[in-house]
Each structure stands twice: as C-alpha cells, then as structure tokens.
Amino acid sequence: MSTSPRLPKESQTTSPSPLAAPMILVVTALDTTWRAFVPTIGGTFAGIGLDRVLGTSPWALIVCLIGGTALSVFLIARQLMAVRKK
C-alpha cells in the first residue's frame, strides 16, 4: 500500500474551477427566468379560472395578468438588488 505525498496546508491553494463563472451565469439566468415567467403564467391561468367561475370575462384575466407581471418585476428587482450587494 502506498501513500501519496501531501503538501503542507499553507502551500495548498484552492483556485476556482474554470467552469465556475459560466455555471454562476447559467444558474443566475435560470433563477431570473422562473421569476419572470412563473408569476405571469400563473396569473394568466388564475385569471382564466376566475373568469370561468365568476363569469367576469375578461376582467379577472386582465387583473391577474397585471398582478403576475407586477410580481415578476418585483421579484427580479429584488434579485438585482441582492446581486448588487454582493
């Protein structure tokens, strides 16, 4: 059984992986994508459902679509503020 030589702790450095920056970019893009589309699409479907139940076509759809879009803007703005703090 052989052992590999180990360097002293002070000479060991951890350099970032060459894939670290692209991975951070991809993860951030995916995080932004769900923040943009999920509330808007959810608001659309909620509005369509409310219109069918309440018979208020197209008013619930318009209100929920505007609400979902506003929520998307809020979530993305909050994400941008968090990124700027770092």
State pLDDT tens for residues 22-39: 888 888 888 888 999 999
Instruction: Give pTM, 2 decimals.
Output: 0.69
Residue with tokens 């702790």: 9
What confidence tier does 41 reach under pLDDT thresholds 50, 70, 90?
very high
Residues in contact with 54: Cβ distance below 8 Å, sequence separation at least 6, in sequence order: 60
Distances (CA, A) of 68 to 3, 8, 10, 38, 54: 60, 55, 52, 8, 19
- Model confidence at 50: pLDDT above 60: yes
Least confident stretch, 8-12, 49-53, 56-60:
8-12
Length in residues, the chain: 86
C-alpha to C-alpha distances, 69 to 14, 31, 82, nearest whole angstrom: 42, 16, 20
DSSP 9: G
